Amino acid sequence: MDPEFAAALAKAGLIDSKPPPPPITAAEARIGFDTTVLKSYKAFLEPYLPPSNSYTVTDHSVPVEGGEISVRSLVPVVDDKNETFPVLVYLHGGGWTIGSVELDDYVLRGYCVRQKITIVNVEYRLAPEHPFPTAVDDCHAALKWTVSNSALLRVDLSKGFLVGGESAGANIAAALTHIARDDLFFEGQRLTGQLLCEPCVCHLAAYPESLKSKFKSMTEFTVMPPLSKEMVEKFYGWYNAPPSDPRFSPLLYPSHQGLPRAYFQAMGFDPLRDDAIVYEEVLREAGVETKVDIYPGVSHGFYYGFPGISAAAKVREDAEQGIKWLLGRESSA
């Protein structure tokens, strides 16, 4: 285990002790997360925010089936009023059940300014009130909205059109790359990259026989805080997706050819570690250009609860370098 992470877990009373039972309801999970992890995480990041006059923040309404959702755009402010930017459509994590655009908002503001990239942060509807495939459909609509509003967002899709997210958000992003590949709406304006941080890419009940032996982490790290196997299964139940539906298990799409280049992050002590490792291998074998960073000795989403340790800083820095790589701004070496 990473020494700093081990010390942080010990200080929090989470090491060498039986993990608490998962929340009974999604509402309990949201309250617990918002009042503890999210509040302290944003407080840690606030001093590192870029100057407020270096970007604009705007919340927009996007029509979706059954109502509307909100997306938050972050657009760089530069001297040249005609300058345009690449775009990242970003999908937050939280097991399809918790989280919001607030979760990664402060980190994304830094990426926006330093990388001169417009970011569209999507507030998709959450399970169990809005079960599968609502989140996928909402994010698909947001992806189309981004294309249709590129002028408003000061976006030039030819400079880079990325989709990505963390955990459940990465799961949706991976599915969207397939959906957009096959959607004629995106003809001539295809996605160019995917940012997959700690993705879930296959339901544990739907591992293909040919790959099943490679999925070891779900049994190796069943009680590793903050995400236990029991909590994974809880999230799966709230989202209520058919295990073999490729919109939930994108590993199961019959072809991965023609997908945009993919950057992965995987945590060494994560039940979902092997989702990232296996999917990266499958994409690479299908001819997709890939890059992966693996962080030994830390667990899923650890950087939200312990943002000040060195490994957490490296995850944030590497994600930004991953964006640069997806945009073709640095070599794959």
DSSP letter assigned to residue 200: -
* Catalytic residue flag (residue 156): no
Q: What is the 3-state secondary structure (H, E, C) of 194-209?
A: EEEECCCCCCCCCCCC
- Catalytic-labelled residue, pool 140, 203, 256, 300: 300
- Catalytic-labelled residue, pool 167, 217, 228, 299: 167
* Catalytic residue flag (residue 210): no
**Cα separation, 143 vs 145, whole angstroms:** 5
Closest CA to 104 of 177, 197, 32, 173: 197
Place of tokens 């599915």: 175
**CA count, 13 A, side-chain hemisphere, 178:** 21
Q: What is the 3-state secondary structure (H, E, C) of 135-173?
A: HHHHHHHHHHHHHHCCCCCCECHHHCEEEEEECHHHHHH
**Cα separation, 231 vs 236, whole angstroms:** 9
- Catalytic-labelled residue, pool 104, 138, 270, 274: 270
Name the helix (H) or strand (E) containing 257: none
* Catalytic residue flag (residue 167): yes
Query: Beta strand pairing status for 55-64 and 67-76?
Result: antiparallel
Residue type, 198: E
Residue type, 23: P
Q: Catalytic amino acids? A: 167, 270, 300
